[in-house]
Amino acid sequence: MRNLQAVILAAGEGTRMKSDRPKVLHSICGRPMIAYALDLAASAGVKQPIIVLGHGADEVKPQLPKEAKAVIQSKRLGTGDAVIAAKKALGGSAGAVLILYADTPLLRRTTVQRLIESHFKSSATVSLLTAHLADPTGYGRILRNENGLVTGIVEEAEANAAQRAIREINVGPLVCNAPALQGALAMVKPSAARHELYLTDIISHLARQEGTKIQVARVEEVAEALGINSRAELARAIGVIRQRIIDTHLHNGVTIEDPHSTLIDYGVTIGVDTILRPYTVIETGVSIGKRCVIGPFARLRSGVALGEEVRVGNFVELVRTKVGSRTRINHVTYLGDAVVEEGVNIGAGTITANYDGQEKHQTHIGKGAFIGCDTVLIAPVKVGAGAVTGAGSVLTKAHDVPAKGVVVGVPARPMDHRAPTGAPAAPAKAEQAPPERRTDGRVKAKPAKRKTPQARRRPSRAAAKRAGRLARRTRVKPRRPRAARHPKRRKAKR
C-alpha cells in the first residue's frame, strides 16, 4: 500500500469574507466548506487527515470527524508556516504528503485522485495542480523556463507585470515527498510583500535541487480552481455545486421542471420519475421515493422521508416528518416531528403545533386518515387509521382520535351521532318552505324557537332587575337624574 498522508490548511482568518465565522464553516449546499476538503482527503484513501486550525479553531473542531487530527497554527504566518505547524503530526514518514487548501471546495475527487496517481507513477518529487484562467487575478502564477519546465510559483503580491500576465495558475493542492517537503520548507523565507512564509516557495527551492522532478496535472474544468476568499466567490461556488447536484438527479431519472429555481442540498435522495416543480427547496438529509410530485413552492427540511407517489404541493413545509406512500399534502401546510402513514389526505391549512416553547412533540396520523382543512394538531397527539377531523378543528394535546373516529370543533370532540356528517344545512330564510297547514287550512303552530347562543347569553328580566338593585345598593353616591346632568339637552328636546 502506498504511503500517503494529508494535511488540510484551514487556519486562515478569511478577512475578505468580512465575517465573524471562520471561513471554512460557511455553508455550501447544506454542509460547511471544510467538509469538501475532508471528502477529498477521504477519497484519496487517507484515513487520518491532519487539519491545521487557527482562527476559530474551537468552532471548527466539532465539525471534524473523530479520526481527524487537529493541530494548531498559533500565528497565521502563511501557508508554509501552516504546513510547518503540522510537522510533528506528520512524524518522520518517508512517504508522500497531500496538501489541500480548505477553501477550494469545487475540486473534483477524480482530479485529486489523478494528481496522486500521476505523482506515484512518475516518481515525481512534487506534483502540482494547475489551471488556465481567463482572469488569473489573485492566484499564484506558474513560472516555467524556456523548456517549459516549472521553475517556481510567484504570488500575486510579489509578481511583476510580466508575471501577472501569466494565465497558468496554482490551484492549490500538491503532493510532495515528505523528506523533500520538510527540507524545502526549512529554506523558505518570509515574503517581501506580505512577510508570510509561502508554501508555494518550496517549488523554486526544489527546482534548483539536482535530481528533483516537478510534475504538473491539470483540472478537468476551470471552475474547479475557484478559491473562496470573498462572499462573491462563495456565491459562485454555491451556484456550481448546486448545478452539479441538479445534474446528478437529472441523470438519475428525476424531472426538474426549472433547475434555476430548484435548490437541492448535498445528501438528498430522490426516486425515479419524481417531478420537482419550480421554486422547491430540499435540504440536506431528505429522501423522496419514486413518482412523487413536489412543489411548486415546497420546502422539505432535514429528517423528511417520503414514500412513493406522495404529493407535496404549494406552500408546504415539512421537517422531521415521515410520510407514507400515496399521501397527499397539497396546500399551505406545516408538519413538523410527524409520522403520517400511507394514503392520508392532509387538508389545506393543516398545522402541527409541535413546539410548546420548550420541547418538540410528535404527531402521528394513521393510515387513510382524512385531516380536514385548517386542522391544528397540538402535539403530542395521535389520529387513528381512517379517522376524520372536521374543517377548523383543533386537536388538543394527548386527546387522541381513535381509528375511524370523527372529531370536530375547538377543542375537537367526537362528532354528535344525532347530526351525522352529510346532514343538509338549514335552508336560507328567503327560500324557507311555506308554513305547513293543517287539513282545515289553518297554519300549524310552529315549534318553540330555540334560543340563539347570543339570546342565551342575554340575562333574563329578573336577573337584570336583581343586578340593578344590587348596583343601587352598592353605589356610593346616587347619580343625579339624566335631565339634571344635561340641562342644555333637556331644552333642546323640548
**Residues designated as active site:** 331
Q: Of 27, 29, 23, which is closest to residue 10 (Cα–Cα)?
A: 23
Q: Which of residues 123-182 bind ligand UD1 (CB under 6 A)?
A: 139-140, 153, 155, 169-170, 172
Which grid coordinates are listed for 109? 475527487
Nearer of residues 40 and 281 to ligand UD1, judged by Cβ = 40
The correct pick among 7, 9, 106, 316 for binding ligand UD1 (CB under 6 A) is 9
Out of 30, 49, 56, 78, the residue judged to bind ligand UD1 by CB under 6 A: 78
The set of cell numbers assigned to 74 is 498559533
The answer to whether the beta carbons of residues 361 and 344 sit under 8 Å apart is no
Residue closest to ligand UD1 (Cβ): 140
370 contact, one of Ca ion, ligand UD1, none, CB 5-8 Å limit per kind: none
What is the spatial distance between Cα 214 and Cα 180, in angstroms, rounded to a whole number? 12
8 Å CB contact between 352 and 335: yes
Interface residue with ligand UD1 among 30, 50, 99, 104 (CB under 6 A) is 104
CB under 6 A: which stretch of 194-202, 230-238, 345-353, 374-382 binds ligand UD1? 194-202
Number of H helices, E strands in the chain: 13, 32
Q: How many CB atoms lie within 10 A of CB 381?
A: 24
C-alpha span between 73 and 10 (Å, rounded): 9
Of 138 and 183, CB closest to ligand UD1? 138
Decide which of ligand UD1, Ca ion, none touches 317; Cβ closer than 5 to 8 Å per partner kind: none
| 36 in contact with ligand UD1 (CB under 6 A) | no
The piece of 162-170, 205-213, 221-229, 252-260 that touches Ca ion (CB under 5 A) is: 221-229
Residue list 147-166, contact with Ca ion (CB under 5 A): none
Q: Which does 197 bind (CB under 5 to 8 A by kind): ligand UD1, Ca ion, none?
A: none
Residue facing Ca ion at closest CB distance: 227
Could you say which of ligand UD1, Ca ion, none residue 77 binds, taking C-beta under 5 to 8 angstroms by partner kind?
ligand UD1
Contact flag: residue 14 with Ca ion (CB under 5 A) = no
C-alpha cell at position 91: 512524524
Helix axes 109-121 and 33-43, enclosed angle (nearest 10): 40
Q: Which of 41, 52, 293, 381 binds ligand UD1 (CB under 6 A)?
A: 52
Q: Does residue 227 touch Ca ion according to CB under 5 A?
A: yes
Residue number with CB closer to ligand UD1 (130 or 345): 130
CA distance 361 to 378: 9
The answer for residues whose C-beta is within 8 angstroms of residue 428's C-beta and 6 or more apart is none
Binding mask 220-239 for ligand UD1 (x = CB under 6 A): -------x-x----------
CA distance 251 to 475: 85
Task: For the CB of residue 98, give the shortest distance to Ca ion in the complex, in Å.
Answer: 17
∠ Cα 184 188 189 (to 5°)? 165
Handedness of CA 258, 244, 138, 10 (dihedral sign): positive
127 binds, options Ca ion, ligand UD1, none, Cβ within 5 to 8 A by partner type: none
Choosing from 5, 6, 7, 12, the residue that interacts with ligand UD1 (CB under 6 A) is 12
Nearer to Ca ion by Cβ, of 229 and 261: the residue is: 229
3-class SS shares of the chain: helix, strand, coil, % to 5:
25, 25, 45
> Residues touching Ca ion: how many (CB under 5 A)?
3
- Smallest distance from ligand UD1 to CB 29, Å: 19
Partner touching 334 among ligand UD1, Ca ion, none, CB below 5 to 8 Å by kind: none
Please check whether residue 340 is in contact with residue 322, taking contact to mean a CB–CB distance below 8 angstroms: yes
Q: Strand, coil or helix: what is 301?
A: coil
Q: Does 204 bind ligand UD1 (CB under 6 A)?
A: no
Please list every residue from 76 through 115 that binds Ca ion, using CB under 5 A: 103
Does 295 engage in binding with ligand UD1 (CB under 6 A)?
Answer: no
CA of 120: how far to CAs of 1, 15, 156, 273, in Å? 12, 36, 30, 44
In DSSP terms, 96 is beta-bridged to 4, 177
Q: Which residue has the cell 445534474?
A: 247
Beta strand spans in 269-421 (E): 269-270, 275-276, 281-282, 287-288, 293-294, 298-300, 305-306, 311-323, 328-340, 345-346, 351-353, 363-365, 370-371, 376-378, 381-383, 388-389, 394-395, 406-408, 413-414
Least distance in Å: CB of 103 to Ca ion?
5
Q: Which is nearer to Ca ion, 212 or 229 (CB)?
A: 229
Question: Is the alpha carbon torsion for 170, 175, 178, 179 positive or negative?
Answer: negative
Q: Three-class SS of residue 296?
A: coil
Contact between 367 and 324 (Cβ < 8 Å): yes
Pick the piece of the chain touching ligand UD1 (CB under 6 A) from 3-11, 241-249, 280-288, 360-368. Answer: 3-11
Q: Which is nearer to Ca ion, 101 or 334 (CB)?
A: 101
Length of the chain: 494
Q: Three-class SS of residue 160?
A: coil
Q: Which residue, 9 or 124, has its beta carbon nearer to Ca ion? A: 9
Task: List residues binding Ca ion (CB under 5 A).
Answer: 103, 227, 229
Task: List residues binding ligand UD1 (CB under 6 A).
Answer: 9-12, 52, 54, 73, 76-79, 81-82, 101-104, 139-140, 153, 155, 169-170, 172, 198-200, 227, 229
